[in-house]
Amino acid sequence: MAVKLLLIALLALASCSAILASDPSPLQDFCVADLQSKVFVNGFPCKNADDVRAEDFFRSGLDRPGDTNNYLRSNVTPVNVNQIPGLNTLGISLVRIDYGPNGLNPPHTHPRATEVLAVIEGELYVGFVTSNLNGGGNRLFTKNLRKGDVFVFPQGLIHFQFNRGKTNAIAFAGLSSQNPGVITIANAVFGSRPPISDDVLAKAFQVDKNLVDWLQAQFWTDNNY
């Protein structure tokens, strides 16, 4: 009986952990990532605490605009665990996003993070799409943001930002993961290597295979992180 109760308790604990878990929780003050380690874990192994320096928690340069001279007219500057090793296990990261006139941060998802975006300069048209609804279809939420406005993109949902204006725009976003990941929808669907079968895509998008082949032959710009 005691063994059964213990197993039930462990299963309940595991279930709660699965529900609540995002990034691994810290079990000490910090776990600065050892980015050179050959050990593969969920996240990064810790650097020896005696070797940790203030620089492990520091990054400069977010005052400088990113280069928007590309097809999308936008640029994302990430600050995650790969740039600041001290973010390891802390479940948070940051990006600066620059948009030229008509600049687009194209539809994409972050599989491991919710995003909170704040507009610092200019105006942005932003939105996200829900997962498939029970009655069919997907709901779109959009908002026109101005300087000082904040918008939330829930974890895993497709979202975008577009600068409709004739001047530059700047936004900063916090993400609830040390390594949020990104899937740019068009790039993933039409620019994967090896490519997805044009039979599959033609049927999924209900278009001619020649159009799919043309789309797959394009150069897919990636401004993301």
Query: Residues within the annotated binding site?
Result: 105, 108, 110, 115, 159
Annotated binding site for Mn(2+): 108, 110, 115, 159
Extract the annotated binding site for oxalate.
105, 110, 115
User: What is the three-class DSSP state of 8?
Assistant: helix
Tell me the C-alpha distance between 89 and 43, whole Å. Answer: 7
d(Cα 225, Cα 110) in Å, to the nearest integer?
10
Q: Show the tokens assigned to 44.
A: 């990064």
Q: How far apart are CA 104 and CA 184, in angstroms?
A: 12
CB atoms within 10 A of CB 126: 20
User: Which of 170-187 are b and which e, b meaning 16 or more Cβ less than 10 Å from the residue's Cβ?
Assistant: bbbbbbbbbbbebebeeb
